[in-house]
Chain A
Amino acid sequence: MPDFGTTIMNLRCPHCLQREVDVVLRRDHDGEYWCPKCSYTGTQDEVRVVYEQVRARYRLRNTRLPLETQLRM
């Protein structure tokens, strides 16, 4: 496993993610997250708010579209 130092493993930069770029956020001692590639900073809650915006674009993510439906689409 690479040494990510102070990296928190389970949060990516939401601003980069909106551009389909994976960048793992770093965390300051005061708990603020920051992106090593862009200027994004935010708390964990703020990060997760943007994640929901990323997910919102997938309007069919909870919709099952079986074969018969797709044939008609």
Chain B
Amino acid sequence: MEVTVFHRSETGAKFHAFLDQQEIVHNLGLALTLFVTADSLFDLASIPIIRRFRDHDGDELGLSLHSLPGFPTDFIWLLSPEQKREAIRTLAGSFREQFGSFPQTVAAYHMDATTMTILAEELPSVTAVVAGCFEEGVRVFHGCNHSWYLFNEGMPWWPWWPSRDHALSPTSVSERRFPFLAVPHLVRDMVLSYEGRNDYYASHPANVVRGMAHGDTGSPYDLNLIDQYRMQEAWNDGYSFYSVFVGSQWMIPNPNIEIPVGDIRQRYIDQLTYLVQLRTQGDLTDHRLSEFARWYRTNGEMSPARRFLAKEILLGSGKHVYWHQSDHYRLTIDAHQGGSIGDLRPYAAGFRGSTGPDSDRLHMGSYPYLIQSQHRSGSQHHYEDGARTTLIVADASGTVDLTNHPTRVERVAVDGYETTVHLAVTTVRLESGTEVGVTTSFILDAGPSIRIDREYTVHAYSGYPITVTEYFKGTYGWTEYPEDLRGVLVGLITRDGVETIPFLYDGKTRKCSAIREVSVTIPQISCHAIISPNDGEEWDGSGTVGTLFSPYYTLSTSRQIDESADRSSICLTLAQQS
């Protein structure tokens, strides 16, 4: 596993805590990247101390863009392009003056494409940036008194080459990307950051305490999370990445911490000591950030995909969530909801966006979703279901929705560019008495399609024909609130022609037999999504546009299956709107 540890320099009340953190890491001998803030750059007393960290302790010095004195806000991504350029020029100039060269690494909680463009123009020395806080968005906004305008949902959880279209969108195409590597601020619990506040559940012992998830003694969850990240080597060609970035504000009395500061400090030491132990065993390598960027250029292109099998390790639910990221999409399979797609970000759409007062998106840095089942209802358990996929099994006696049957990820198999996510068999029972065993596999290759294969075994067959429906209920958005769907177009293509349904909030449905494609076009995010049968069988298709009380489109394909055993296959393909 590849590991980076970051600190941010501090002055004033946090200065001594900062020095203590530095000493902890230096004593442990971990490679450290120290991001120097504006406050420190203009504090003459700090400069010789920071130089000593570089010259004596071997720290890499990077530039922190957090805290921007003299600007309207401390958050670089929310400034105008002119202010972003001025801030970068001023701080980089001062950095060079104090330390003799421009920084190779730069950090902010979030960087938008405009900030990255300016960085690339102004600082060709930069090889890597800290550019996002994984999945920080709606829930942290809620949890922080609706006053923390950091929206980073939809980004890769591991280092990525940022696209010039949208900084949180990854691309391996060198012409389309910025010349530096982006890394996340730290890493998260990949189950709990999907369903709850991601900052509570992260590689950050103090925030784990903030969420009250710490052990009564010791730091089992902090260490368990490290091991969960180590586990990912099994299906990522031996690669995994883990990062630590604990600010000094957590090492002094903090309004969000109810235990003694000394306990927080000890938990930080426990976390880092375990990393050292693993390094000693040969199980990880620690890097300064520019070193990691060099390592990644040589070793990081082993696969076009990143895979994360998350197993819930804190509440004891046994829940599995599988994440997959490629140039074309970020996919989250929620095995606890029967293997439904719980989150889907269509990078293939090439959605363009930056933040700032000049931008249409203003503060919204997140990459849009087609599905976010936690924000947008998912399975039906109050009034109506929302964004999700599922399989519906039906006969004349009724229907069963696979979402309501939790399963688990049985195996992740990687063969070259192809990943197969095998889910454990789920058996559903219809009112008629017929039982259908469903085994689902997601086949994910280097292209923009997600293939869903099912195997069926039928028991206690009652005599009623069995129909299966592949169901995709989507929308688009950035938050938990619906966006304007006018302009969205649902289409059905058969061998006889094309039917379209404009989204007018009128609840219209069209059905066709011998369907080739059911699709949706979303001009607002330049996205085209297509469901198509993939097994040579004849399927019926259906497209629905919702109402103001159900702001979703639904694409589905159905067919009968054999009463003893059968297989089906469909593809969900994502593309840029033509």
Contact = CB atoms under 8 A, between A and B. Distances in A.
A18 B318 CA distance: 22
- Interface size classification for chain A: 20 to 34
A57 B143 CA distance: 18
B212 A65 contact: no
Interface of A: 1, 4, 7, 9-12, 17, 20-24, 37, 51, 54-55, 57-67, 70-71, 73
A70 to B, nearest CB: 5
Contacts of B210: 22
A55 B231 CA distance: 26
Contact of B142 (A10, A20, A64): A20
Contacts of B255: 4, 7, 9-10, 12, 22, 24
11 contacts: A10-B258, A22-B210, A59-B314, A61-B214, A62-B216, A62-B217, A63-B224, A66-B224, A70-B227, A71-B231, A73-B313
B213 A65 contact: no
The 10 closest A-B pairs by CB, nearest first: A59-B316, A67-B227, A64-B220, A65-B224, A20-B197, A24-B255, A73-B311, A62-B215, A58-B213, A60-B316
A57 B196 CA distance: 14
Interface of B: 13, 139, 142-145, 196-197, 200, 210-218, 220-221, 223-224, 227-228, 230-231, 234, 253-258, 311, 313-316, 318
Given A20-B143, A64-B224, A59 B258 contact: no
Contacts of A21: 142-143, 145
A70 B216 CA distance: 21
Contacts of A71: 231, 234
A67 B232 CA distance: 10
A65 B220 contact: yes
Contact of A61 (B197, B234, B314): B314
A10 B257 contact: yes
Given A12-B258, A20-B197, A61 B221 contact: yes
A51 to B, nearest CB: 6
Nearest to B233: A67
Contacts of B231: 67, 70-71
A41 B223 CA distance: 36
Nearest to B146: A21
A55 B196 CA distance: 15
A28 to B, nearest CB: 18
Nearest to A24: B255
A65 B218 CA distance: 13
Given A20-B196, A61-B213, A61-B220, 20 more contacts: A4-B255, A9-B253, A10-B253, A10-B258, A20-B142, A20-B143, A20-B200, A22-B143, A22-B144, A22-B210, A24-B255, A58-B221, A58-B314, A59-B314, A59-B316, A60-B313, A63-B220, A70-B228, A70-B313, A73-B311
B251 to A, nearest CB: 14
Given A17-B212, A60-B221, A64-B223, A11 B230 contact: no
A58 B218 CA distance: 15
A58 B257 CA distance: 17
Nearest to A54: B212
A22 B313 CA distance: 23
Nearest to A71: B231
Contacts of A70: 224, 227-228, 231, 311, 313
A1 B216 contact: no
B423 to A, nearest CB: 15
Contacts of B258: 10-12, 51
Contacts of B257: 10
B145 A66 contact: no
B211 to A, nearest CB: 8
Which of B217, B220, B223, B234 has the most chain A CB within a 10 Å cutoff? B220
Nearest to A10: B258
Contacts of B197: 20
B313 A55 contact: no
A23 B213 contact: no
Contacts of A4: 255
A32 to B, nearest CB: 18
A62 B224 CA distance: 11
B172 to A, nearest CB: 29
B227 A66 contact: yes
B231 to A, nearest CB: 5
A37 to B, nearest CB: 7
B228 A61 contact: no
